[in-house]
Amino acid sequence: MNIFSEVKEQLTTRQVAESYGLRIRKNGVACCPFHDDRHPSMKVDKNYHCFACGVGGDVIDYTARMYGLSQYNAAKKLVEDFGLHVQTEAMSREERQRLRMEKEERMRIIQIKKRFYRWCEETIELLKDALIQIEDSGQVLYGKPPDVIFSEDYAMILHAEPIINYWLDILCMGSEQEKKELFMQGRKEVEQVAGNVRKWSRCLMERCRESA
């Protein structure tokens, strides 16, 4: 049995997380320490999983993520911190290669999640700006002739408003899964519609100035 198997056999994530300062409720849920979690969204027992940001794993993974360690150094830390009777002989070449690949995969996932959360924040502002442009477009039409009021530009702006509100509802109040689906499947359309609103609004403003 290697160091990883021995550590996981002797410790649970809940034991370790509580020892390292995480407050866990009786039902096994806690605020996730790996993102800004205002409502408990992490389930902690033998392993752990956060239903908000998606991170999860075993006791060694938790320690590695918490302290920025490799899997091997995290296992050694647990052996030392909890006084486990475990052999810590050097890893084989295959074990080192496996751990390196696991680390690369974790880093890839972390980068994707960072990109996702940044996109959500930036897109909320982008869509709010689009709604402001839609409102401004309606205000400049007061007193304008029918050919401007019923222009194709303004019709397209009004057509875009419901879908923009729908996307904002998802990003501000939707579930994590709904946000991920929008990010994976709809982000190009979101950016295209917001860009079109800017273009249509600009064209409408020019028509209004010409008709003044």
Q: What pLDDT, on a 0 to 100 scale, did the predictor assign at position 89?
A: 60
Claim to verify: residue 185 and residue 146 sit in the same structural domain: yes
What is the pTM (predicted TM-score) of this model?
A: 0.55
Average pLDDT of the chain is: 88
At 2, is the pLDDT very low, low, confident or very high (cuts 50, 70, 90)? confident
Residue 100 in any domain: the answer is no
Dig out the tokens for 100 from the structure. 């390196």
Mark whether 125 and 193 lie in a shared domain.
yes
Alpha helices in 34-186 (DSSP H): 59-67, 71-82, 93-139, 146-149, 152-173, 176-181
Domain co-membership, 158 together with 187: yes
Domain boundary among 69, 91, 113: 91
**Positive/negative CA dihedral, 86, 92, 96, 102:** negative
pLDDT tens digits, one per residue of 145-203: 777 777 787 889 889 999 999 999 999 999 989 999 999 999 999 999 999 999 888 88
Q: Are residues 140 and 43 in the same domain?
A: no
Three-state DSSP state, 70: coil
**91 — pLDDT class (breaks 50, 70, 90):** low
C-alpha 209 chain-centroid distance: 43
- How many Å apart are CA 212 and CA 208, to the nearest integer? 6
Q: Answer yes or no: is 71 within a domain.
A: yes
Same domain, 27 and 64: yes
Q: What is the pLDDT of residues 132-144, one digit of tens each?
A: 998 888 887 777 7
Q: Are strands 48-50 and 29-30 parallel, antiparallel or unpaired?
A: unpaired
- Residue 90: pLDDT band (50, 70, 90) is low
Q: How does 181-193 read in b/e, with b if 16+ C-beta sit within 10 Å?
A: ebbeeeeeebeeb
Give the integer Cα–Cα distance in Å for 13 and 150. 63
Query: Sorting pLDDT into bands at 50, 70 and 90, what band is 99?
Result: confident
Q: Look-up: residue for tokens 């302290």?
A: 67
